[in-house]
Amino acid sequence: MTARTLRRTGMPNRGGWPVKLSVFLIVVLWTIPSLGLLVSSFRPASEATATGWWTALFSPLATDWTFANYANVLGKGGMFDAFVNSLIVTIPATVIPITLAAFAAYAFAWVKFRGRAFLFAVVVGLLVVPLQMSLVPLLRIYQATGLTGSFLGIWLAHTGFGLPLAIYLLYNYISQLPKDIFESAYIDGATPFTAFTRLVLPLSYPALAAFAIFQFLWVWNDLLVALVFLGTTSDVSVLTIQLATLAGTRGESIHLLSAAAFVSMVLPVVVFLALQRFFVRGLLAGSVKG
Amino acid sequence: MSEAVELQAPVQNGRRWGVLRDVVISVGVIGLIWLGLRVLRDPEAFSEWGDLTGKLAQAMLALVLGIAGIWALFIVVNSLVEHLPARAAELVRPWIFVLPALAVVAVYLVYPAIRTIIQSFTEVPEGGGIFSNYIEAFTDPAVQIAIRNNVIWLLLAPAAAVVIGLAFAALADRVKHESLAKTFVFVPLAISMVGASVIWGYMYAWRVPGTDQVGFINGVIQFFGGEPIPFLFEIPINTYAMIVIMIWLQVGFAMVILSAAIKGVPVELTEAARIDGASELQNFFKVLVPSIRGSIITVFTTIAIVVLKVFDIVYTLTGGNLETEVVALRMYDAMFRFRNFGQATAMAVILFLAVVPIMIVNVRNLRKQGIEA
Amino acid sequence: MKKHRWSIALVALALLLAACGDTGGETTTTGGDEEPTTTAGEEPTTTAGAPAGETPYTELNAAIAGDYEGTSVEIVAQWAPDGAEATSFDLALQPFRDATGIEVNFEPTVEYETALQVRVDGGNAPDLAQIAQPGKMQQYADAGSLINLSEWFNVDQLTQDQVAGFVELGSHNGDLYGVYYKTDVKSIVWYPIQGFADNGYEPPTTWEEMIALSDQIVADGNGNPWCISIESEAADGWVATDWMEDILLRTAPPEIYTQWYNHEIPFNDPEVLEAAEYMSQIWFTPDYAYGGNTYINATFIGNTQDPMFDPAGPQCWMQKQAAWIPGFWGENKDFTDPADWPNKPGEDVGFFYFPTIEEEFGQPVLGGGDMFVMFNDRPEVRALLEYLATAESSAAWIERGGFVSPNVNVPLDSYTTYPETELSTMVANATTFGFDASDLMPADVGAGTFWSGMVEWVAANGEGTEEIFQSIEDSWPAG
């Protein structure tokens, strides 16, 4: 049944040309801004500020194409370290909140305990606490516990800031899993823990993957939290800090910034493409719903 | 049914020595994690390995600690609970699931939030009453503009993002290169808000009419004989121009979630409607949309919250000038530029309050889906 | 915050200094030699020529004697990491490292202001930090974060060594908290040398000549005389506040300027409105500013002068901006190293002094500066701060260019790079050195409504001046 469900989804696969055209139009509209940036990243600064990027596309031969912007961005020392540091920060800072959130969302959805609805409302309400407001009180705690500048410190910080959204999104998905599979599992002698690991996690792949992407992007692109909790010393400095350092501001011109932006975008886009497959696998498992 | 449902009976540990063994293992696991974190903190720990290997070794340790550590903790604690008497285990177990998350959230969000609320009443100018921050906030013309703008953002951005995201998800579901098309729409999400602002600052760029335009939109306008528009410097276009950026960013999010939801709709439902003679559009609005209603509300409210907190875009592009001020930017300025904590905290509380209605919608939505069940 | 150091440098406070003698307002405590500045310290270590010898500073002498060898000091600044300024400063610190064996960790920081603020609030402040705005220093001092230097610093020596007024700029409520290290000069107007020569234009020396030249350029059909724009990310508008200040220094006595930023006269005092009138003569006279008011608001400050480098010849001819701007000229943008710039300052583009308006107010100079403040009190930190007050501490930077010192002991002939040679002379000859007033106003105004008000004024093309200045006046924080 699973394979069939995968192919025959909600709407049948029979879009006419209006459908194709609309899709194409939206894709073009959504791509133009980034395309402009991509083209700019291969143009020298004086050209980029003198003429529109499309002129380079229309007259590619008259354009002084250059890799100098990328060489400039990548050639600086510390770039590799920063990339590795970004990974060290981002991967656990994605996995830890997902794990905590999945456990919590599962309990909120399927395990009865006192204060459940209240606690859940509090967690969801915390979605709106502005990050900037938390920085100073937290930094005091960090100072007292020696967490400043440590990877553990920034994992926990990103976990804290990401948890409400994670719990909220995962709850929405997990709570919609069919009740009877849990009932039959408990009859078979499963504990809540085994039900979680053997049922909830596999069945929630789409939601887990979706949140993983967003948390990954958020952490990967984050500058403020890294700046405050991790600092700028080279042994822990992450990619965004390195790039901000390099590109300065827009004042340093679009050409460096555009190259820097693409360097930092490569991994998130690859991650998305890779996780798309997990979406599909998750959907296979999710088909028990039908 | 799928193989996922095949469950094993819980592992039965031998009673007495099992307890001892699990306690020892737990202590060992916690000790290992603690030790690992100590090593990770020591900048010299990997120096003798050389630059590259040292860095990679550190990365490996960090990843193992971060990922395996959290799972090991859950597993050992759970195994300990299994040794409790059944009733006690029953009571304790839910808290194992929720306490770690709640603890982190308490430290990182609840405690600062409470402090913030208290400060908004206590950090007042000399001689001011406890509400003086709020009175000042609501009488300041800049804040009034900020609140008005937040309302405009809130009315336009989430709705537009959901509508476009849903339409695209439904449309893309029916073309051949679905995932490719979706990737293009998703890519903006991989860009930070500041990056997006830079990109769009470039899209909106204005040059003197008649000279070479560098901004794409004005390039097109001028090509067709129009007069270039200073999008970011003309009231009220500037606010709407920035809302467009938010929509551009958020459609990908809406699309990913709603696309997953659409694929979750049982094929029999739409099939049945089709057999009953429903048109494509009827099918979409009468069958598909209602059956993913929960997901739509989730996406809508999530984007609404992001929009309420909007800050980077305005900060980068207009700095709040020419009536583009928003509440979060006012708050940031009060906090870091003007050093007026009272004002900043009052703004934060105003943001909290603004989100209450959204949360009510949400909780209702969740009720329907059965949190009480 | 995402601004560049040069844009931040403008955000600040103003002060009047006179190159010779004290013409400053009431807040300016005496800067003269005979009258010792009031030091609050119990045991002032102000006796020059302290035990260890060569320098007039106690801890510095001890450090040179090797007393603090092996200790370390952390110093932070907003000079763009990897940029020329950061490199120059690091080199300037080297003699101190060599002489004392103290490890000095200098970290240029991104998002400088926010990062520093958070570190201070979080109890993790660096030992020494650079600050551009006196108002910021006052905030930190009021919050009790800063070390009061008056208690031990040789203030008399500092007062002697620095251009009059800088000690007061670093002081708050009579105590010294910041030591000035670097100054910037803003009262200059850049112009294309060859273009001027080809058309027989002369750099103007009076306001009337400048207006006449502007009319001439328009009449000749040579495009627009002025390149003006103020878009600067979160700091839009500061270029306009500089203009206001520079003009006010030329149309009113220095006391008015001081009273203005101290809010002893209203923000929209008639004198200020008169200055605005002069400003709008250039900004809003039709055909004067390239691209009109939309260009002014919509163009990034780094691109202001692009039309000056149009291949078809200058489309605008004059740009009032400080000495950092050459890096943004035409094709200079493609090169980070000034040695590679195709458009050389001094050869292709030169500058003239922003001219006098009313004879009686002489030749004022508007400028900004950077001071260092101290968060942690340790002997080796004191030693480094004392070092930064000496002329020696700027030698390396001056040699590399891009630095004007507030220290009068730096010989004028040590400035060998363009345009510092001219600028340092300009500072030395100034009748009044006005510190950027917006940096001296409360941040709510000086980095808030003053900026945004200017943007509104430009958007209205100079209309509604009185209402806009009134609304800035209304926004002045109470108390």
SS3 string of C227-266?
CCCCEECECCCHHHHHHHHHHHHHHCCHHHHHHHHCCCCC
What whole-number distance in Å separates Cα of residue B308 and Cα of residue A5? Answer: 38
Q: How high is the mean pLDDT of chain C?
A: 84
Residues, chain B? 373
Kind of pairing between the strands at C72-77 and C128-131 = parallel
Distance CA C42, CA C152 (A): 9
Distance from C-alpha of C366 to C-alpha of C255, rounded to nearest angstrom = 15
State the DSSP string of A252-288. G-HHHHHHHHHHHHHHHHHHHHHHHHHHHHHHHHHGG
Distance CA B184, CA B163 (A): 17
| Other CB atoms within 10 Å distance of the CB of residue C375 | 20
The ranges of chain A with pLDDT < 50 are 1-11, 249-252, 280-290
Query: Are A69 and A41 in contact, with CB atoms under 8 Å apart?
Result: yes
What percent of chain C stands above pLDDT 70?
A: 87
* Residue whose tokens read 């809540």: A192
Give CA–CA dist B91/A246, Å, rounded.
54
Question: What's the rounded Cα separation, in Å, for the pair C42 and C32?
Answer: 23
* CB hemisphere CA count around A135 (13 angstroms): 23
Helix (H, G, I), strand (E, B) or coil at C370: strand
Residue C147 confidence class, pLDDT cut points 50, 70, 90: very high
* DSSP codes of every residue in C71-120: -EEEEEE-SPTTSHHHHHHHHHHHHHHHHH--EEEEEE-TTHHHHHHHHH
- Tell me the chain C residues in contact with residue A222 when contact means C-beta distances shorter than 8 Å: none
At C369 the three-state DSSP class reads: strand
User: A144 to chain C, minimum CA–CA distance in Å?
Assistant: 9
pLDDT of amino acid B43: 61
CA distance C364 to C252: 11
Contact status of C233 with chain B (Cβ, < 8 Å): yes
Residue C448 · residue C25 · CB < 8 Å: no
DSSP state of A78: T
Diameter of chain B measured on Cα atoms: 88
**Which of A49, A72, A148 lies at the smallest CB-CB distance from C306?**
A49
Which two tokens mark B209? 């009419």
C156 close to C36: Cβ distance less than 8 angstroms: yes
Q: Check A34 against B188: CB less than 8 A apart.
A: yes
Q: Which residues pair with B355 in a beta bridge?
A: none
pLDDT at B10: 46
- So what's the pLDDT on residue C463? 94
Element (H, E) at B298: helix B293-308
Q: Is C121 on the interface with A (CB under 8 A)?
A: yes
| Crossing angle between the packed helical segments C270-283 and C207-219, to the nearest 10 degrees | 30
Q: Which residues contact C108 (CB under 8 A, 6 or more apart)?
A: A245, C76, C77, C78, C79, C80, C81, C82, C83, C86
pLDDT at B259: 84
Burial of B291 (0-12, 13-18, 19+ CB in 10 A): middle
| Short-list B16, B312, B328, CA closest to C233 | B312
CA distance A288 to A181: 9
- CA of C249 to nearest chain B CA: how many angstroms apart? 26
Q: Determine which helix (DSSP H) or strand (DSSP E) holds C318, and give its type and residue range.
A: strand C316-320
- Per DSSP, what are the bridge partners of residue C374? C128
> C353 or B128: whose pLDDT is higher?
C353
So where are chain B's domains? 2-122, 133-368
Residue C341 confidence (pLDDT)? 83
CB under 8 Å to C430, separation ≥6 — which residues? C19, C363, C364, C365
Any B CB within 8 A of C447 CB: yes
pLDDT tens per residue, range C161-200:
988 888 989 999 999 999 999 998 999 999 999 999 999 9
Q: Residue C424 in contact with residue C411, Cβ under 8 Å?
A: no
pLDDT in tens, chain B (373 residues): 333 333 344 444 455 677 788 888 888 888 888 888 777 776 666 767 766 777 777 778 877 887 788 888 888 888 888 788 878 877 888 888 888 899 999 999 889 888 888 888 888 877 778 888 898 888 888 889 999 999 999 999 999 999 999 999 888 888 888 878 888 888 887 777 777 887 898 899 898 998 889 899 999 999 999 999 999 999 899 999 999 999 999 998 888 878 878 877 777 777 788 788 777 788 888 888 888 887 888 788 888 888 988 888 898 888 888 999 999 888 888 877 787 878 888 888 888 788 777 777 776 776 665 544 3
Question: So what CATH class is B133-368?
Answer: mainly alpha
pLDDT in tens, C365-422: 999 899 999 999 999 999 999 999 999 999 999 988 888 999 988 888 888 888 888 8
Q: B: neighbours with 3+ CB pairs under 8 Å?
A: A, C
From the candidate CATH numbers 3.90.1150.10, 3.30.870.10, 3.90.79.10, 3.40.190.10, the one assigned to the domain spanning C194-364+454-474: 3.40.190.10
**Confidence band, pLDDT 50/70/90 cuts, at residue C150:** very high
Q: Does A197 touch chain B (CB under 8 A)?
A: no
For chain B, what is the radius of gyration of the CA atoms? 27
CB A95 within 8 A of CB B70: yes
Fill in the amino acid letter for B249.
L
Q: Quote the tokens at residue B152.
A: 């405009």
A105-114: per-residue pLDDT in tens? 988 888 888 8
Write the CA distances from B277 to B124, B170, B272, integer angstroms: 66, 19, 9
CA–CA separation, A276 vs B256, rounded Å?
10
Residues of chain C within CATH 3.40.190.10 domain(s) are 2-185+368-437, 194-364+454-474
Question: Which amino acid is residue B216, in one-letter code?
Answer: F
A 10 A CB-CB count for A268 gives 22
Is A262 an interface residue toward B (CB < 8 Å)?
no
Residue C8 amino acid letter: I
CB contact under 8 A, B321 and C455: yes
The per-residue b/e assignment along B274-287, b for 16 or more CB within 10 angstroms, e otherwise, is beeebebeebbeeb
Phi and psi at B29, nearest 5°, equal -60, -45
Contacts of B178 (CB under 8 A, 6+ apart): B172
Nearest to A236 by CA among A246, A224, A227: A227
Distance from CA of B286 to the nearest CA of A (A): 13
Q: Which of B212, B337, B340 to mutate to test the interface with C (most CBs of C within 10 A)?
A: B337
**Minimal Cβ distance to B206: which of C234, C298, C449:** C298
**Residues of A whose CB is below 8 A from B370:** 175
CATH class of C2-185+368-437: alpha beta
Strand pairing class (C432-435; C16-17): antiparallel
User: Minimal Cα distance from A177: which residue of B?
Assistant: B369
pLDDT at B138: 86
What is the rounded CA–CA span in Å between residue B93 and residue A134? 31
Range list of β-strands (E), C99-226: 103-108, 128-131, 171-172, 175-176, 178-185, 188-192, 224-226
Strand, coil or helix: C392 = helix
Give Cβ neighbours of residue B226 (< 8 Å, ≥ 6 apart).
none
pLDDT exceeds 90 at position C141:
yes
> Tokens for B136?
């000042």
Cα–Cα distance measured from residue C99 to residue B128, given in angstroms and rounded to the nearest whole number: 54
Cβ distance C246 to C435 under 8 Å?
no
Quick one: average pLDDT of C274-283?
Answer: 96
pLDDT of A257 reads 72
Cβ–Cβ under 8 Å, residues C386 and C152 = no
How close B233 gets to chain C, by Cα (Å)? 6
């003698």: which residue's tokens? Answer: C21
Please tell me the distance in Å from A258's CA to the nearest CA on chain C. 14
Decide: residue B52, CB within 10 A, 0-12 exposed, 13-18 middle, 19+ buried. exposed
**Euclidean distance between CA atoms B290 and B185, whole angstroms:** 24
pLDDT for position B44: 66
Please enumerate in sequence order all residues whose Cβ is within 8 A of that of C145, keeping only pairs 6 or more positions apart, or say none: C120, C125, C375
